[in-house]
Amino acid sequence: MSTPVEERVSISSGGVITVIAGKVELGQGVLTALSQIAADALGADLAQVRLVAARTDGGPDEGLTAGSLSIQRGGPPLREACARVRAACVAEAARRWGVSPDEVTVRRGEFRSGDLTATYADLAKALELPMEDVRAVQEERDYVGTSVPRVDLPDKVAGRPRFIHDLRLPDQLYGRVLRPPSPAARLARPAPLPQDLRVVRDGSFLGVLAETEAEADRALGRLRRLTEWDDHDTLPDERDLRTYLRAGPHETVPVCEATGEPPEGEVVGATYSRPFLAHASMAPSAAAARWNPDGTVEVWTHSQGLFLLRRALADVLGLDLGRVVVRHVEGAGCYGHNGADDVALDAALLARECGGRPVLVRWSRADELTWSPFGSAMSVDVSAVVDAAGSVRSWEYDVWSQGHISRPTYGGEPNLLAGAHLERPWTYRAATDPPPQAGAGMTRNAEPIYDFPRARITGHRLTRTPIRSSALRSLGAFMNVFAIESFMDELALAAGRDPLAYRLDHLSDPRGREVLRRAADAAGWGRPGLGIGFAQYKGYGAYCAAVAEVEAEEELRVRRLTIAVDVGLVVNPDGVRNQIEGGAIQATSWTLKEQVRFDRRAITSRDWESYPILRFSETPEVVVELVEDPAQPSVGAGEAAQGPVAAAIANAVAASVEVRVRDLPITRDAVIRAMG
Amino acid sequence: MTRLNLNGTPVEAAADPGTPLLDVLRGEMGLVGTRFGCGAEACGACFVLLDGAAVASCTTPLSAVEGRDVVTVEGLAPGDELHPVQQAILDEQAGQCGYCLSGIMVSAAGLLARDPHPDEAAVIAALDRNLCRCGVQRRVVRAVLRAAGAEVAR
């Protein structure tokens, strides 16, 4: 038996080259960008390349699709795999034609040597032959760098089945889970249930099964009315999260230790905060599962990390890893760790009772807004010693937050919601953070890019909390950039200096200086009422500067955002623009409107009225300037705009109405309160 | 049995008359392009045209559409053709995850049917009941204006 050159690549007799993706489509367009990379590495025509959804059986384990790293980390192994396939086919063509591999070229799917030509389909057999060494070939860039249209949009525009919610497996059942009314609530006593309700119960985990969605919803309503819970208060005071975040217990995370005593000079300081934020996906999380007669469990999921989810499911279900197969199906945009993983366990628990029939479980809107992990509330104290000209001589920075990662298996626990409700419960641990080399969490972007002579930066992570938190687009960077860039603005204004010039005076990084200048030029910097914000994401990712123009009359609204971004080599220019535009609009929503609400017992923001997000009529115009540097490696674009946009808006409010709002969200009422 | 005209074809639905239209469409009718978003007519993901007006199918009972015209995203244009709004969404690449798009395109098609030449403010007003979380609102507005222009050209 021969080993294929690349398990993840196969070639059909019709010449279609199928590649199993290691990254998952979250609506960010990654399948399109990866197709471009694959086509160029293969020397194939884009139309013959199919990137298919990631899966644990046969697909590569490339970890999470997160952190704006898919192009940076997923691109190179894909390129390498495709280059090996190409080399194998080149070698086969050379063998058949009796020429040296150096004499064989391949472009747009056609292998050629003199007058001799062949296609991938002709040479597909080569993939089954033992490989010798692969020589590096110079690939032509036919697709990388061009705005190839999204491969997934035609289905979505036509309304064809594409989302996990559209799965219709043979003999499929529909499931719903009855969540407790609050994080602390547990089932009081199992009520006697009518015969015609198909209920699955394990401890305080309750679910219902039905033949249709409508019946499942009706059954869930009946079960809810029949169920009683023991409940008590465990949540903090939502109006005083500053105290809550500082109360501890904490893990202290030093980011930067200052050397020597602080210099003499005027000391100024400020405190900034953000509330808990919800991912608020447009689609409630969903998953399907089937227990097969051979003892395997198949799970269909929109998780960001199929292999982590597989491990967590195997642990909770008490199965060997090899018995769990996890496949990706697209969901709505998730913007981080939402309920995708949790609902996969729900589906597996319900399907376990269904004798081999598959079950599709879909959460409710309220489940999605109250039970998905949140982006943590955060609070920052920052102070600086400034010289006579107002320049920073020393910088002190403390950030207080819950952790930003509680994905499956982090900290050694499955961390799946239903696990905590089972008869033999699993602990749902307080979130932790990725290590600094993976971009950190609460301290992501806590270190300013500016050339400060002295700085001390410390993170304080809460290690006990009743509120689940996990990754939300950009993790701590949104808050840290908001705080740093707001404070830089305050320092500039206090010194009577132009905020742009003030930043440039503290900044030697040439790429940073360039995006600042480009954003400022494009926005017509110098006009009154503009605000600017800037960062290099994670300190090693994309450079992004945003200029905001706001309108503060009856309502507070952002009219326009002008954004310059440098992501190194651009794989898909329109894809980068779309990610920056979308990130900027979402960041505007976080900045102006969003706040998870709760009383002392339960999350109370459970629908679009109590958790409003930005509407069409509130959406700013977004202008994106690509500052391309093809000599630099590609870095991700998905999270670069979040922090700079928040700071630009706050700074524009300060420039327009001379009011500094330091606590998000910047609502009309917050502005009025700040006017004091 | 409830009779209705679905995407131009008379059909009968067997579901209980109190069943939400959305569940009938996605279930019995096999048309999954209409999405569930909130179940409370607050997001627009499940919009369909009911006698030409965009309504939330999640809170509309089957009984309310007896004898009426229902158009879903699948029926905006005949067969495999695309409605000008659908084509313009592709041309402008006005999508990210795409989950909200069905409802948005239904709202926009409803607008263009009653006002073939809307200005930007009219487009925004017509789409203000539709939520989008990925942030493609500006692209969508451009696409709908482009679709309106395409109709002018005919």
Q: Do A615 and B16 touch (CB under 8 A)?
A: no
The residue among A16, A20, A40 whose CA lies nearest residue A108 is A40
E strand map for A356-472: 359-362, 378-386, 392-402, 455-462
Question: Which of A160, A212, A622 is closest, CB to CB, to B33?
Answer: A160
- Residue A239 tokens read as 């109006």
- pLDDT number for residue A135: 63
Distance, in angstroms, between A461 CA and closest chain B CA?
29
Amino acid at B55: V
Chain A hits for B119, CB-CB cut-off 8 Å, are none
pLDDT at A137 over 90: no
Residue A308's Cα: distance from chain center in Å? 16
In chain A, the percentage of residues whose pLDDT exceeds 70 is: 98
The better pLDDT of the pair B154, A585 is held by: A585
Distances (CA, A) of A373 to A364, A396, A506, A529: 15, 30, 38, 37
**Average pLDDT across chain A, whole number:** 94
Q: Do B72 and A159 touch (CB under 8 A)?
A: yes
Distances (CA, A) of A530 to A468, A552, A648, B37: 37, 12, 8, 36
Distances (CA, A) of A435 to A219, A410, A536: 45, 12, 18
- CA–CA distance, B4 with A532 (Å, rounded to integer): 55
pLDDT at A660 over 90: yes
Q: Do A153 and B93 touch (CB under 8 A)?
A: yes
Backbone angles phi, psi at A435, to 5 degrees: -65, 160
Q: Do B133 and A613 touch (CB under 8 A)?
A: yes
- Residue A265 tokens read as 């000079």
Which residues is A402 bridged to in the sheet?
Answer: A462
- pLDDT number for residue A259: 86
Distance, in angstroms, between B112 CA and closest chain A CA?
17
Could you tell me the pLDDT band of residue A290, with boundaries at 50, 70 and 90?
very high
Backbone angles phi, psi at B121, to 5 degrees: -65, -40
- Residue A671 tokens read as 């502005």
Q: Answer whether the bond into residue A249 is a cis peptide, omega within 30°.
A: yes
Determine the average pLDDT of the residues in A586-593. Answer: 98
- Residue A298 tokens read as 């198949």
Q: Do B95 and A150 touch (CB under 8 A)?
A: yes
Distances (CA, A) of A228 to A180, A189, A201: 9, 7, 14
- Find the closest chain A residue to B39 by CA distance: A365
Element (H, E) at A546: strand A543-552
- CA–CA distance, A641 with A8 (Å, rounded to integer): 34
Could you tell me the pLDDT band of residue B153, with boundaries at 50, 70 and 90?
very low
E strand map for A140-264: 173-178, 186-189, 198-202, 205-210, 228-230, 250-256
- Residue A609 tokens read as 């009225």
- CA–CA distance, A218 with A221 (Å, rounded to integer): 5
Q: Do B45 and A282 touch (CB under 8 A)?
A: yes
The better pLDDT of the pair A461, A125 is held by: A461
Question: Which of B38, B98, B127 is closest, CB to CB, to A152?
Answer: B98
- Residue B4, Cβ density class (10 Å: 0-12 exposed, 13-18 middle, ≥19 buried): buried
DSSP characters over A568-619: SS-S-HHHHHHHHHHHHHHHHHHHHT----B-SSSB---STTTS----GGGP
- pLDDT number for residue A5: 64
The residue among A254, A161, A607 whose CA lies nearest residue A447 is A254
Pick the CATH number of B2-75 from 1.10.3720.10, 3.30.2130.10, 3.10.20.30, 2.60.40.10: 3.10.20.30
DSSP A130: P
Residue A5's Cα: distance from chain center in Å? 32
Question: Which of B38, B90, B97 is closest, CB to CB, to A332?
Answer: B97
- CA–CA distance, A332 with A338 (Å, rounded to integer): 11
Which residues is A205 bridged to in the sheet?
Answer: A202
Q: Do A214 and B31 touch (CB under 8 A)?
A: no
For A22-44, write each residue's pLDDT tens digit: 999 998 899 999 999 999 999 99
Chain A hits for B44, CB-CB cut-off 8 Å, are none
The residue among A641, A208, A192, A608 whose CA lies nearest residue A445 is A641
- CA–CA distance, A371 with B71 (Å, rounded to integer): 34
- pLDDT number for residue A66: 84
CA dihedral A37, A38, A39, A41 (to 10 degrees): 90
Question: Which of B34, B38, B125 is closest, CB to CB, to A608?
Answer: B38
Determine the average pLDDT of the residues in A412-419. Answer: 96
Q: Do B124 and A617 touch (CB under 8 A)?
A: yes
* All domains in chain A, ordered by first residue: 9-156 (3.30.365.10), 164-231+285-362 (3.30.365.10), 248-276+374-404+441-675 (3.30.365.10)
The better pLDDT of the pair A194, A496 is held by: A496
Question: What stretches of A43-196 show up as alpha helix (H) in DSSP?
Answer: 75-97, 120-123, 153-158
- CA–CA distance, A643 with A604 (Å, rounded to integer): 27
Residue whose token pair is 């050159």: A5
- CA–CA distance, A488 with A589 (Å, rounded to integer): 23
CATH 2.60.40.1120 fits B84-153, yes or no: no
Amino acid at A508: S
Chain A hits for B32, CB-CB cut-off 8 Å, are 159, 161, 163, 165-166, 168
Backbone angles phi, psi at A624, to 5 degrees: -115, 125
Could you tell me the pLDDT band of residue A130, with boundaries at 50, 70 and 90?
low
Q: Do B131 and A613 touch (CB under 8 A)?
A: yes
* Beta carbons of A270 and A482 less than 8 angstroms apart: no
pLDDT at A388 over 50: yes
Chain A hits for B133, CB-CB cut-off 8 Å, are 280-282, 332-333, 335, 586, 613
- CA–CA distance, A541 with A79 (Å, rounded to integer): 21
Q: Do B37 and A158 touch (CB under 8 A)?
A: no
For the beta sheet containing A621-626, the strands, ordered from the edge strand earlier in sequence to the opposite edge, are A530-536, A543-552, A556-566, A621-626
Could you tell me the pLDDT band of residue A67, with boundaries at 50, 70 and 90?
confident
Could you tell me the pLDDT band of residue B152, with boundaries at 50, 70 and 90?
very low
Lowest mean pLDDT among A184-198, A442-456, A630-644: A184-198
- pLDDT number for residue A2: 33
Chain A hits for B36, CB-CB cut-off 8 Å, are 165, 213, 283-284, 362
- CA–CA distance, B19 with B57 (Å, rounded to integer): 10
For A178-222, write each residue's pLDDT tens digit: 999 999 999 998 778 888 999 999 999 999 999 999 999 999 999
Could you tell me the pLDDT band of residue A429, with boundaries at 50, 70 and 90?
confident
Question: Which of A214, A280, A585 is closest, CB to CB, to B27?
Answer: A214
Q: Beta strand pairing status for A286-291 and A543-552?
A: unpaired
Three-state DSSP at A490 gives helix
CA dihedral A112, A113, A117, A120 (to 10 degrees): -50
Three-state DSSP at A339 gives coil
Radius of gyration of chain A (CA): 27
Distant-in-sequence, close-in-space partners of A56: CB < 8 Å, separation ≥ 6:
A306, A307, A310, A324, A325, A326, A327
- CA–CA distance, B49 with B75 (Å, rounded to integer): 10
Chain B hits for A164, CB-CB cut-off 8 Å, are none
Domain boundaries, given as residue ranges, for chain B? 2-75, 84-153
Q: Do A281 and B133 touch (CB under 8 A)?
A: yes
Residue whose token pair is 């590495």: A41
* Beta carbons of A200 and A207 less than 8 angstroms apart: yes
Q: Beta strand pairing status for A324-328 and A297-301?
A: parallel
Chain A hits for B131, CB-CB cut-off 8 Å, are 282, 608, 613, 615
Determine the average pLDDT of the residues in A259-277. Answer: 95
Chain B hits for A221, CB-CB cut-off 8 Å, are none
- CA–CA distance, A589 with A614 (Å, rounded to integer): 5
- pLDDT number for residue A221: 97
- pLDDT number for residue B154: 33
- Residue A150, Cβ density class (10 Å: 0-12 exposed, 13-18 middle, ≥19 buried): buried
Q: Do A616 and B33 touch (CB under 8 A)?
A: no
The better pLDDT of the pair A80, B104 is held by: B104
Could you tell me the pLDDT band of residue A168, with boundaries at 50, 70 and 90?
very high
pLDDT at A142 over 50: yes
Which residues is A254 bridged to in the sheet?
Answer: A458
* Beta carbons of A480 and A646 less than 8 angstroms apart: no
Distant-in-sequence, close-in-space partners of A328: CB < 8 Å, separation ≥ 6:
A21, A24, A25, A53, A54, A55, A300, A301, A302, A303, A306
The residue among A150, A139, A80 whose CA lies nearest residue A572 is A150
pLDDT at A68 over 80: no
HSE (side-chain half, CA atoms, 13 Å) at A293: 0
Q: Do B23 and A150 touch (CB under 8 A)?
A: no
Amino acid at B61: P
